[in-house]
Amino acid sequence: MVSKDFFLALDELEREKRIKKSVFIEALETALVIAYKKHTGTSKAIDVKLVPERNTIKIVAYQTVVEQVEDKDTQISLEDARLINRKYKLGDVVSEEISAREFGRIAAQTAKQVIMQKLREVEGELAYNELSQKEDELVTCVVRRLEGKNVYVEINKLEAVLMPQDQAPNDKFAVGDKIKVFVKKIKTGPKGPQIIVSRTVAGFVKRLFEIEVPEIAAGLVQIKAIVREAGYRTKMAVYSEDNDIDAVGACVGNRGMRVNAIVSELGGEKIDIIHWCPDILEFIARALSPAKVVMVQVNDEEKIAKAVVMDEMLSLAIGKDGQNARLAARLTGWKIDVKPYSSLMKEENEAQAEQETETESVAAPAPELDTDTDLFDEDLGELE
């Protein structure tokens, strides 16, 4: 343990493990103290120092000078101390160097175990600090084991879990697979860092587009809103302040190459990409894509919208089990009621008929005039 090669190995460890040599030496010194005490059965106060410049290990035991000795391992009488050096006085610390040859195989093995444990802790801390910067980011990892429905993956030598609710319906995994995951949450626990990853959140698709579309990465195209039902459909609203840039076209790519690459990663999940606009009427109409909307009526106070589509477009606008309308509502933040055009016409006709009925009931018959001609003539005669 005191050879030149040993200290050269420390330099190699610093380069490979990215652990500072000083950290490793500190861990080793602590481990050697524990190993020495365990091997010798002593409770002496000792200090172990590595001296790389001399390729040696220095072990020193300490005793405090006291008037009355109560602990022989940590205390020494003033009389005995002055036998070593007449200058010692009460309260001084007497040091004694111990030969490193007293370390046996058991001590070395104990030291190795403690050192390796410390190294794992340091590596874990380094990996955690590096990974903590990647929360809400996309990372590539390796599937290490499958336990029930949980998938355990390795990220930067740390284990993360992909739970069932974070797996898309069409996801299939095998040990050794390289997969992309979204780092959803990182927290510290009693057994070390706990990393929760996902492939179902909308952020997963958003990060895929940021990687695949240079215009998004450069900030020329913005993802204004994105919602998703994993394995089935994603809706995304994009926008560019540059009128010369087609935001939707940039995301789709030449002949659909960009969006198809993402669809392939998602196992065939459908993706609707629409132009975002500040006009809520237009935005709601676009959000119901691929259906064509005839008209949109809104109640601003309650944030409720009525979207009218042609009858043949009704099932497309609503989607299977209401999925398309549900995603459109989440994308816009408005409650959307989808109505067929025939229903709108029926409501308008009924309203018009009701209005006509009310008009007829309001019109009352004119009062009858008094046509008694005799009385009229009599009044006329008096005037004459």
Residue-wise pLDDT for 148-193, tens only, equals: 999 999 987 788 999 999 999 989 999 999 999 999 988 876 666 7
Q: 133 near 186, Cβ under 8 Å?
A: no
Most confident of 43-47, 50-54, 112-116: 43-47
This prediction's pTM: 0.67
Of the candidates 232, 315, 282, the residue with the CA atom closest to the CA atom of residue 325: 315
End-to-end CA distance of the chain: 151
Q: Quick one: pLDDT at residue 245?
A: 96
Q: What is the mean pLDDT of residues 339-355?
A: 80
The pLDDT of residue 2 is 52
Q: In the prediction, which pLDDT does 101 show?
A: 66
Q: What is the pLDDT of residue 306?
A: 94
Q: What is the rounded CA–CA span in Å between residue 372 and residue 27?
A: 128
Question: What integer is the mean pLDDT of 262-269?
Answer: 94
Q: Rounded CA gap, 24 and 30, in Å?
A: 10
Listed residue (78, 70, 68) closest to 43, CA to CA: 70
User: For 142-149, what is the mean pLDDT?
Assistant: 94
* 307 within 8 A of 322, measured Cβ to Cβ: no
Q: What is the mean pLDDT of residues 47-68?
A: 82
Helices (H), the chain: 4-17, 21-40, 78-84, 105-132, 202-212, 214-217, 247-252, 257-265, 280-287, 314-318, 323-332, 341-362, 373-383
Q: Cα separation of 60 and 41, whole Å?
A: 16
Average pLDDT, the chain: 85
User: Which of 98, 101, 117 has its CA nearest to residue 2?
Assistant: 101
Spell out the domains of the chain, with CATH numbers in brackets. Answer: 4-128 (3.30.1480.10), 138-198 (2.40.50.140), 201-276 (3.30.300.20), 291-353 (3.30.300.20)
Q: Per-residue confidence at 373, pLDDT binned at 50, 70, 90?
A: very low
Is residue 377's pLDDT more than 90?
A: no
Cis peptide before 278 (omega within 30 of 0): no
Out of 106-110, 150-154, 282-286, least confident range: 106-110
Residues 65, 88: contact at Cβ < 8 Å? yes
Q: How far is CA 50 from CA 24, 29, 44, 269, in A?
A: 11, 7, 19, 59
The stretch 49-59 carries a mean pLDDT of 77
